[in-house]
Structure formats: C-alpha cells, structure tokens
Structure 1
Amino acid sequence: MRKITIIGAGQAGLHLGIGLLAKGFDVTLVSNRSAADIAAGKVMSSQSMYDMAIGYERELGLTLWDEHCPPIEGVHMRAGTRDGATMVDWRSRMRANGQSVDQRIKMPAWMDLFQRKGGRLVVEEAGIAEIEGYAERSDLVLVATGKGELGRLFERDAERSVFDHPMRTISLTYVHGMKPREDFSALNISINPGIGEYVNFPALTHTGPCDIINLECIEGGPMDRWSEVSTPAEHLALATELIHEFFPWEAPRCAQLRLTDDNGILVGRVTPTVRKPVGTLPSGRRVLGMADVLVLNDPITGQGSNNAAKCVKVYLDAILEHGARTFDADWMSETFERYWDYAQWVTRFTNTHLLPPPPQVLKVFAACGENPRLAARVANAFDDPKGLAPWYYDPVEADRFIESFAVATA
C-alpha cells in the first residue's frame, strides 16, 4: 500500500486525503490545529463554491450540508458611484446552485470523516525538519499549506505572477439580519471604480443560515480604514458605514445587520502569486505543492475553494494513473501543469478584476443588462472561468461574442 502524507488540513488537503483513502492509499494528514481549535476559532475564508467544484465533493460524499445550506442561485452585478448612480446592472440565475459552508463547520466534520475512513491525523506544527521525516517514510508528500517556512519551499514564478504586492485590503463579515432579495439568492457583486468592491452571498455558519460580506478595499483609498478597528463591534460598524457610503444601492438590505459571532470577522491582505510546484528539502527530497500554495488569488471573484477542489481532482487522477512508479520531480511538474491548464484562467479572471475594468469588459457587462442569455453565460463563468476566454480579454472577440447573442435572439 503506497503511503502519502499531506501537510495541511484545509479544503484541498482534506478533500484529497479522503479521496486517496477511498482508492486504497495509506494517508497521513498533518494539521497545525485540532478540529476543536478550528471550530472555536475565527472564520478563515468566504468559501463560495459552484457546481463543478461541489460536484467533485459530491463524488466522495463530502457535501454533508446540502439540506441546511442556503443556495446561491444566481449572480447580480452592479457598478456605480457613491451618489447612487449605476453604470452597470444585470442579474441572472446560474444553471446550478452554489453554496458556502463556514470552514469552522466543514473542516472539523471532514477531519472526523477522514479518521473514520482510516486516515491518520497528526496535529502538530510541521516545519522543514518534520517534513523531512515524512518524506523519508512516504512515497509522496504534498504541501497544502503555505504558512511560515513552508511557503518558502516553493519559488515564486515571476513569469506567471502579475503582482508583487497586495491589491486590496480585504474584510470579511459574517452577519445575520440581512434583508432577503426579492427575486433569487445571489452572489452580489458591486463595483465602485477606483474605490473598491462589495461582494455578498448567503452561507451556513455555526448559528445557522447567514450572509457573508466581503469588502475589497483598494489600498490607500477611502475604504481602506481597517486599521481603525479593534473590536468586533467596531468591525461591523465600519463595514456598515462603508456599504452605506460607497454602495448605497445595497444599504437597504444592510439596515439590521448583526454579527453571527465575535469570531465571524477577518481582515487581511493577499499578494496574488503563482509559485513553482516542486519544493526541494535540505536532504534533496522533493515535495509537491497544491492549490493556493501554488496559485494564490485575491478572493474578489470567490474562486479559492473552487480552485482547491479542482486541483484535488487533477492531482487525484494523476496519482491513480501513475500506478507504482516513483513520484519524481518530472511527474510533479507535469501534474501541476495539468492543473495550471485550468487555473491560469481563474488567475487571469481574478487579476482582471483587480485592475480598472478594460473597455471590452464594461461593454460585455452593459450588454448583459440587455440580453438575458448573455447575462446567463457570464453568470455561469463563475463556475468555470475558462469559458471567459477569449472574449473577456480581447475587444474584437468581445464584439463578436456580443453579436453572436444578438443574432441568436433575432
């Protein structure tokens, strides 16, 4: 029985670990926190997920909250200014519902499932020395967390990394009391050009159905005031103030907000980065990174957990196809390139939204407001951003794309 060790018990590590157990591997999973620590800790992400990624979870029996998690049924995108004037306003249902399950619920449940299926869970802070030991005893070591010295194992890929600093200050706020939409539940995206973005969707947390608000604040801009905040109450007050000031069309839904819990808040910054996949330990042994250890995007387009699930699908298939052969550096690089064939489009999609919107994107968004079929195509791209190419990035192709829908509906 081949032995595989995974460092990191998040969305990617646990998903892959459970998948490998189902295929007969001997799997050790190393986490720097226990299930109880995770459940009692702060929120870790917003983790909206869509049909393709949820399907990969469902194949392994990991969607344990389908009956309780409120659905994300569509997309509503708006762009406007603080005076309430809107330049873009379109909405569409998606072909299948998305969902967001608080990782403080999800990860402990998956850790329990992993152990019940025969996996070995080790709770320790694994550094280079510990990974050396696992590499000596395992056929393959995968690194699914980039915290501390582990992140330095994987070299930044300068050719594939567009940014070298954070583009946003990001705040997450888990709330109850948001007024429901009148049509369908949605991934709500509002853009105030040059200021920042408001992203909201329904979710499930410890205290039941809730809403998550992600405020993406351009660094140094008028929304970037999170250094003023020191308590959960102040966090909620500032989030509410910023919504009323910069996204007034969303304010009526946010009049009665209250925190789900004092740990339902997070503020941070992310430098979008692509890293090379193979890490070399001091002994010369090789380890393979995965998911956001290698492809880290800003959460503005909500792709992080989706990327993780899709990376797991690629890696699991590659491991199974490899049989009894050695997991050498060439195999590691080839496996990552299979994942990058998809992930590059997510990175391009996300990076586009961190810069001033190019004319062709604004043109497509405006056309979405006039053509429901076009709007549905763009809405479903959150499930598979690869489908945005080439028209999302090329003015000529954007015109052809818009025209194709006009002809189809004539």
Structure 2
Amino acid sequence: MRRIGIIGCGTAGIQLAYSLKNDFDVTVHHYEQPQDILNGRIRSTQVHFHPTLERERRFNMPAEDSAPPIRSIHFHLGQQKLFTGNLTGIAASVDQRLGFAESIHDLASQGVKFVHGRLKQEDLLELTHSYNLIIDTTGKAGPLAPFPVETGLTPYQAPQRKCIVGYFTGVQPVKPEGISITVLPGNGEMFEIPAITDSGLATILFIEAVPEGILDVFKGIKNSSEFMARMAKVIEEHFHPIFERIDMDRFALIAENAFLQTAITPVIHRPYAILGGTLILGCGDSVFLSDPITGQGCNTASYAAEQLYETLITHKESTWDEAVGIDYWNRTKHYITAVTEWTNAMTEPLPEHIAKLLMQAASDQMTADGIAAWFEDPTKAHKAFHEHSINQPFLR
C-alpha cells in the first residue's frame, strides 16, 4: 500500500486523512496534541457552507449537531439594512479547536498514524525518504515545500485587512438565523456569526479593518478585558444595529483566550513540486491563501482536498510524478481563480454594477438570495463581478 505523509492537521489535512485512509497508508505529522488544541487560542471564524458540510458527510467526518444553523446572510451598508438573502442549504460554524481535537482522536481510533513534532523546511528532504507522496497542509504558516508563487493571482505584497476576532456571549442573534455582514466603505467590515464551542454557544464578532482606518484601533491590546472593552466601544460607535442587540451585563468573551488579532498577505502558489524525487502536493492555506473577507478559507481547503483525493484515486495505479501534480492543479485552478479574484475584488471599492446589484437586492428577494449563494459557490460571485450589467441569470 502506498505511503502518504500529511503535514498539518487543519481543515485540509484532516479531510484528506479521512478521505485517503481506506486506500493508502496515511501518516499525519502535527505539532499540537488534541488537549493543547482545545486549551489554545481561537483560530478562525470557520463558517462551513453546505457544500463543505456535504463533503464532510461523504467522508464520514464527525459532525457537531448542536451547532446553530446558519440559513441566511444579512447585509448592511453602514447603518442601513439592505437585505436578507437565503442560503440554499444550512451552514455551520464549529470552533476549530473542538472539531480538530475530536477528529484527531477519531482518526487515530481508525488506524491513522500521528507523529508529533514541529517540522521545518530543512526537514522536508529527509521526510521524502519515508513516503511515496507528501501533502503540505501547513496552513497560513506554510508552505514548507518550494511551491512557486502564481504571480497572476497574487497582486498584493502586504495585508489588505487587519483581522480582529472574538467569541462572545450576551449578543442576541439576528433572525432568521444567519451571518450578519456590515460594510463600512473605505474602513472595513464587521461579520457576526453564530457558533458552537467547547464552552457552548457563542457569537463570533469579526472585524476586518482597513489598515490605519477607523476600525484599526486594537493595536497593543494584549488581554481579554482590554479587548472586550475596545470591541464594545467600536460596536457602539460604528455598528448600532449590533449594539442594540447586546446585553452589556452579559457581554463577555467566552474565555481568556477567545480573541485573536492577525493580518495576512494573500498569496497563491502552484500546488505541486518535486523534491528528492518525491512528489509534494499542497492543499489549503499553505498554497491557496486568500483574505478572509469572503469566508472562503475553510471552504476552499475542503474543495481542494476533495479534488486532491479524486486526483489520487484516478492515479492510484500510476506513477506519482509531476503529471499528477499538473492534473490536480488543472482540476482546482478554475475554482481557486474564482475565489481569489472575487475575494481580492471585495477588498477594493465595489464596482458600480455590484453596488447597484446590492441596492436591487433590497427590494427583490431573488436577487438577495442570489447574492447569498455567492458564499456557497464563489464561481457565481466571480461571474457576477465580471458581468457589467444587472441581470438575473448570473445570480443563480
């Protein structure tokens, strides 16, 4: 049986382990034990839209049934509510700490081997002697492998947003159940997401701040009390509809480590390389890193992991060489291009025809539902952004 080494156990690495374990000898290299993950800092906002949840069901991955159902996208422009668009299927946000820890235990019980330890780039060549294929799913910190940058899909050399995330109690959810998006043109966005955590239900408040703009006011904050106080002040000043739903007596982070500040520079790599005669493939944020503004990080990782699985099953009896890597990239490139170009466009001022489309959605439910569906299928969003007239066919 061919041996596959997966580096990393995030969204891509875990799905790949589930999908590949029955056909190959799979070993996962990771640097955090499950209890360390559970006790660590929050990692993401991790909305899994229904295509991702369907893939997880396909590969018999653990499901968290207590996650609040996400059925809609509520869109605000400044203080004005424009529309509520209905998703075509239920989405969910499960704290990655909970999901990753449970999956590691489950995979180990099914015979997947785990090797604990942090790998560096200089360790990769030695690792090629142990496997027929290595998959780099090292996430935002990666890649370890020498994957070349796709310059045509990588226009930025610096972060376009500063990401400020906290998991809170005391926020009355929007109705119907869903994600609330508020855009402050020129300054950033606020996302409000219902989630399940190891501590119970929480509301994720996620600010994407334009650097040096009015939302970029969390610099130097190191502890949870300062973070909570600053978040409350920003919401009161700039997001009145959310502030009106907050019970300030109950408003608090769910835990001391339930907040995060980060900034990423989006970069897309070609996801295959040969090192020491061994094929190395990349998946997830290690090679397809986009700004979080469209909520596609986990969903893109899941999509690419499925395409990688399909590629390896197709070539199960073939030589694993560069041709396999080219096939994998050809299978994913259209989708990755759509996600990347749509996401990059969302960090810029909205095109005039998109602004008109959002206004049209305020009075037309079909248009509103079509816009909500962009988050489930980014190829629809990409098509919409590259159409220069308002018409229904490109929405659905």
2:273 corresponds to 1:274: no
232, 239, 249: which one pairs with 1:240? 232
Q: Give the corresponding residue for 2:126.
A: 133
- For residues 147-197 of structure 1, give each alpha carbon's deviation from its aligned partner in whole angstroms, at most 9, with x where no partner exists: 66744622222111121110011111001111122x311111000101110
The partner residue of 2:113 within 114, 120, 128 is 120
SS in 2 for 1:65: coil
Q: Is the 8 A contact 1:141 1:287 kept in 2?
A: yes
Aligned to 2:192: 200
**In 2, Cα distance between equivalents of 1:124 and 1:143:** 15
Q: State yes or no: 1:173 paired with 2:171.
A: no
Q: What is the Cα deviation at residue 391 of structure 1? A: 2.7
Aligned residue type for 1:211: T
Task: Give the length in aligned residue pairs.
Answer: 394
Could you say if the C-alpha distance between residues 305 and 320 of structure 1 is closer, same or farther in structure 2, counting changes exceeding 3 Å? Answer: same
TM superposition shift of 1:337: 2.5
Q: Give me the whole-angstrom Cα distance separating, in 1, the residues matched to 2:229 and 2:326.
A: 47
SS, match of residue 198 in structure 1: strand
Partner in structure 2 of residue 260 of structure 1: 254
- Trace 1:324-403 onto structure 2 (pairs within 5 A): 324-396=317-389, 399-401=390-392
Offset at residue 228 of structure 1 (A): 3.3
Aligned partner of 1:408 in structure 2 is: none
Name the CA shift for 1:342/1:174 in 2 (closer, same or farther; >3 Å): same
Range with bigger deviation, 284-293 or 190-199 = 284-293
**CA distance in 2: counterparts of 1:268 and 1:237, whole angstroms:** 19
Question: Which whole-Å CA distance do the structure 2 matches of 1:314 and 1:39 have between them?
Answer: 29
Give me the whole-angstrom Cα distance separating, in 1, the residues matched to 2:259 and 2:297.
18
Q: 1:121 to 1:184 in 2, by over 3 A?
A: same
1:77 alignment counterpart: 75
Q: Which runs of 5+ in 1 are unaligned?
A: 406-410
User: For 2:391, what is the secondary structure of its paired residue?
Assistant: helix
Query: Match for 1:291 among 280, 284, 287?
Result: 284
* 1:149/1:199 CA distance change after superposition, 3 Å: closer
Identity value in percent: 26
> Unaligned regions of 5+ residues in structure 2, if any?
none
Please state whether the residue corresponding to 2:194 is helix, strand or coil: strand
Q: 1:78-157 residue pairs with structure 2 within 5 A?
A: 78-80=76-78, 84=79, 86=80, 89-146=82-139, 150-151=143-144, 153-157=146-150
- The residue matched to 1:390 in structure 2 has which SS? helix
SS at match of 1:267: strand
Q: Matched residues in 2 for 1:177 and 1:250: separation?
A: 11
Q: Which residue of 1 aligns with 2:203?
A: 211
Give the whole-Å Cα distance in 1 for the aligned partners of 2:307 and 2:393: 33
Contact 1:127 1:149 (8 Å CA) reproduced = no
TM-score by length of 1: 0.92
- Residue identity in the other structure for 2:263: R
TM-superposed deviation, 1:279: 3.5
In structure 2, C-alpha distance between the alignment counterparts of 1:77 and 1:109, rounded to whole Å: 33
CA distance in 2, matches of 1:77, 1:296: 25
Letter in 2 for 1:401: Q
Does the Cα contact within 8 Å between 1:277 and 1:289 map onto a contact in 2?
yes
Pair 376,14 (structure 1): closer, same or farther in 2 beyond 3 Å: same
CA gap of 1:247–1:151, structure 2 versus 1, over 3 A, is: farther
Name the structure 1 match of 2:30.
Answer: 31
Instruction: Within 5 Å, give how 1:303-318 maps onto structure 2.
Output: 303-318=296-311
8 Å CA contact 1:200, 1:211 repeated in 2:
yes
Deviation at 1:218, TM superposition (A): 0.2
Q: 2:215 is matched with which residue? A: 223
Deviation at 1:290, TM superposition (A): 0.9
1:183-198 equivalences under 5 Å are 183-198=175-190
In structure 2, relative to structure 1, the CA distance for the partners of 1:100 and 1:387 (3 Å cut) is same
- Between the aligned partners of 1:46 and 1:69, the Cα distance in structure 2 is 13
CA distance in 1, matches of 2:381, 2:52: 17
Partner of 1:4: 4
AA paired with 1:273?
V
d(CA) in 2 for partners of 1:286, 1:207 = 41
For the residues of structure 2 that align with 1:378 and 1:337, how far apart are their CA atoms?
27
